[in-house]
Amino acid sequence: MDKRKVLLLRVYLVAIGFILFAFLIAFQLVKVSLIEGSHWRAQAERLYIKTVDTEGDRGDILSANGFPLATSLQFFDIRMDLNTQALDDRTFMSEVDSLAWYLSRYVNPSKSPMAYRNHLISNRNAGNRYLLLKRNATFDEMKRISEFPILRRGQFRGGLIVERKSRRVKPFQSLASRTIGLDRPNAPNVGLEAAFDDYLRGERGERVLQRISGANWVPVGDISASNPQRGADVITTIDTDIQDVVHNALKRGIEHHRARMGVAVVMRTETGEIVAISNLERKNGLLVESYNHAIGSLIEPGSLFKLPSIMAMLEDGLVSLDEKVDLNRGQTRICNRILRDSEPHDLELTSVRESFEMSSNVGIAKLAVERYSQTNTEEAFISRLKNFGLDKMTGIELAGEAKPYIKDAGDVSANWSCLSLPWMSFGYELSLTPLQMLTFYNAVANNGKMMRPQLVRELQRDGRSIRKFKPEVLDASIASRETIEKVKDLLVGVVENGTGRRARIDGYPIAGKTGTSQINYTDVNRERTLYQSSFAGFFPADDPEYTCIVLISEPRENGFYGGTVAGPVFREIVQRIRAIQPGDHPMELAEFASESGMASYPFWQVGKAEEFRYLFNSMGRFPAMDEGAEFVVIMPDQEVGTKLRTRRVSENTVPNVVGMGLRDALYALERAGLEVSANGYGRVIEQSVPPGSRVENKNISIRLDI
């Protein structure tokens, strides 16, 4: 009995232990699933599901005529989860051949359908859940691939994985590149990209990602489900046609004179809107836009500053344009220093007007010394310059504008000396940016009204205006109307009779001033003198529409004077703007083509004959054209200015589309039964199938550039 009792006791104890253990397990199950369920589910989601912020698409920066200067292009990496649970072996094997054929046909023709089939099967057997099918696909390519067999079933049943990426591009490449700026993920933005970043930057959304293997996370649900808000578009004042003119004219000028750097800015006189701005400098043998010198670089303006100097004396009633000044054959002594004109001459007594037209340093310096320092009114000269606004920044929208430097009279700490007044009168011992100098010249062109330089006209979101920027007046009148009229006449004289003659155009009035300054004159060990050549002016002089400044630094060949180096660039800019915007001063195409170096725009264009016929008829020109011509090429001709050559486009062979815009090229190629893929912007520069070939392969790719 004792043994039986002991045995039963042991059995009961074991049973009770099992029962208690079962109750403990049941309690833990209830605790985990009900009491702590939300906690552990969150932990699981953190391991396999996560939510990340997504940036909204960045807004575009657009030109005044509607072209994108900076835009965000969408690209897609397309992958495949070959082991998604909903894709069974039967479905996969029944459609893998079709999928392989489509991938070979539309994604990578160099890879055969059989090679694709083996590739897909081997990766499925290896358990690959993140197979790359296409990198950097366009939106159209992404939509096409998502309709391929198997993939058309979607993410869970077909394994389709689409990852969206965005890349900021500038369709016009280097045109106004530094002013437009850069949007950089790991560095500060610059230019308009920085100034209007708060508007351009889209509002954030959220995206749910699921871990499929290792460090691979894929989007869950529709790619558009996160709903980030797109940023606003910035509408600039830049005119792409004029920008192209200015950029290329400046580039040619720099290359012709083998200069180090150049700046050119064109401003709409009445409003202060900047329609073109170009900054080019040599970097590793190439001309690039690496810094906005027009806004951020202070320069000694040289003879450009003779305009505010003579205006100061006119405003103070200290000089008459017809009175005589002794140029002393181009040299004089001031404070025991010999001052010379830039070029030797035999002139002695001449009028102030003639002295200004020939840009005499001696003339302007003697007048400044005689009329100001001898009457102890040097402060009046400096005060007048400040009244002109020359000591103030323009306040343009971009960051980085340098503050102008004009020393106070008698300021010993600024090294004021008896040489300061005369040297300042012709543009030394003071400094301004090219844009600040242009703003002053624009005020003269605008009858004394100084406008703030403006780069942005409007902000839009989804086509609706959210903010408009009106022209802003900095000073309603920097000088009397009488003084303004006198100096306008002086500037016309500079171009007609003086140092600016190389900017002159017959029958078209231009007003302007040349400037030449030495850069390294303080360096006693210099091997050679470095110069800065400039020209500032406005056109047409009788009713100014545009004001322009051209500055070319350190020319090494073919001259160094402002009239020789910068003047011709200014003239080319004027001529080209007249050619594309004839207005009240139409320019004959023959005259335009016959000018040296002028035969590159708008020649060598290819397009539909009917459109060019309309263009030339509206300009009053009627070049010969075959009646049955469908496409024509515009070509320069020294005698008649331009001629049109018919380009035959056959429907039975591959047409020649080089030189055409995208619209015309697509029309010609698709009419021939070809499927076209295009890359780039501008006009066609290359086609993959030679023109005249038989239409055998239905695919053709074209490359465009501006």
Check residue 626 and give its pLDDT: 57
8 A C-beta contact, residue 592 and residue 641 = yes
Over 90: is that where the pLDDT of 392 sits? yes
Check residue 706 and give its pLDDT: 59
pLDDT over 70, % of the chain: 80
Check residue 281 and give its pLDDT: 95
366-379 pLDDT, tens digit per residue, is 999 999 976 568 89
Check residue 274 and give its pLDDT: 97
Q: Count each helix (H run) and each strand (E run) in the chain, helices first.
A: 22, 30
Question: Which residues make beta-bridge pairs with 350?
Answer: 325
Check residue 631 and give its pLDDT: 64
Check residue 497 and give its pLDDT: 93
Pairing relationship of beta strands 675-680 and 699-705 according to DSSP bridges: parallel
Amino acid sitting at position 289? E
Over 60: is that where the pLDDT of 635 sits? no
Check residue 590 and give its pLDDT: 38
Reduced 3-state DSSP string for 421-486: HHHHHCCCCEEECHHHHHHHHHHHHCCCCEECCECEEEEEECCEEEEECCCCEEECCCCCHHHHHH
Residue 33's contacts (CB-CB under 8 Å, 6 or more residues apart) are: none
Q: DSSP alpha helices (H): ranges in 498-648?
A: 562-580, 589-594, 609-618
- For residue 328, give the H/E element and its range: none
Check residue 588 and give its pLDDT: 44
* Alpha carbon distance 7, 476 (integer Å): 115
Over 50: is that where the pLDDT of 609 sits? yes
* Alpha carbon distance 509, 500 (integer Å): 12
Long-range contacts at 157-160 (CB < 8 A, ≥ 24 apart): 157/84, 157/86, 157/87, 158/84, 158/87, 159/80, 159/81, 159/82, 159/83, 159/84, 159/87, 159/129, 160/78, 160/80, 160/81
636-691 pLDDT, tens digit per residue, is 443 334 455 566 666 667 878 777 788 778 878 887 788 888 887 777 877 888 77
**Bigger pLDDT: 391 or 172?**
391
Check residue 21 and give its pLDDT: 81
Region for residue 378 given its phi and psi (left: phi exceeds 0; alpha: psi -120 to 50; beta: otherwise): alpha
Task: Provide φ and ψ at 238, rounded to 5°.
Answer: -70, 130
Check residue 589 and give its pLDDT: 41
Most confident of 226-230, 562-566, 588-592: 562-566
How big, in percent rounded to 5, are the helix, strand and coil portions of the chain? 35, 25, 35
469-524 pLDDT, tens digit per residue, is 999 999 999 999 999 999 999 999 999 999 999 999 999 999 999 999 999 877 76
473-482 pLDDT, tens digit per residue, is 999 999 999 9
**Bigger pLDDT: 636 or 182?**
182
Tokens of 537: 């002016």
Average pLDDT of the segment spanning 403-418 = 92
Amino acid sitting at position 463? G
Question: Which residues make beta-bridge pairs with 72?
Answer: 168
Check residue 221 and give its pLDDT: 59
**Bigger pLDDT: 351 or 699?**
351
8 A C-beta contact, residue 131 and residue 82 = yes
The mean pLDDT value of the chain amounts to 83
DSSP of 596-637, one letter per residue?
A: TT-TTSS-S-EEEHHHHHHHHHHTT------TT-SEEEEEEE
* Alpha carbon distance 101, 196 (integer Å): 48
Check residue 204 and give its pLDDT: 62
Over 50: is that where the pLDDT of 616 sits? yes
Check residue 638 and give its pLDDT: 38
Check residue 374 and give its pLDDT: 61
201-226 pLDDT, tens digit per residue, is 876 656 666 665 555 656 665 544 45
Eight-state DSSP code of residue 213: E
- Among 28-32, 139-143, 157-161, 349-353, the minimum mean pLDDT is found in 28-32
**Bigger pLDDT: 618 or 460?**
460
Most confident of 46-50, 148-152, 510-514, 581-585: 510-514
Check residue 643 and give its pLDDT: 53
Over 70: is that where the pLDDT of 542 sits? yes
Eight-state DSSP code of residue 507: T
Tokens of 4: 């039986």
- Among 9-13, 312-316, 669-673, the minimum mean pLDDT is found in 9-13
Check residue 570 and give its pLDDT: 97
Check residue 603 and give its pLDDT: 40
3-class state of residue 574 by DSSP: helix
pLDDT over 90, % of the chain: 48
414-436 pLDDT, tens digit per residue, is 999 999 999 999 999 999 999 99
Stated pTM of the model: 0.72
Check residue 591 and give its pLDDT: 45
Check residue 151 and give its pLDDT: 92
Tokens of 595: 């000018």
8 A C-beta contact, residue 356 and residue 364 = yes
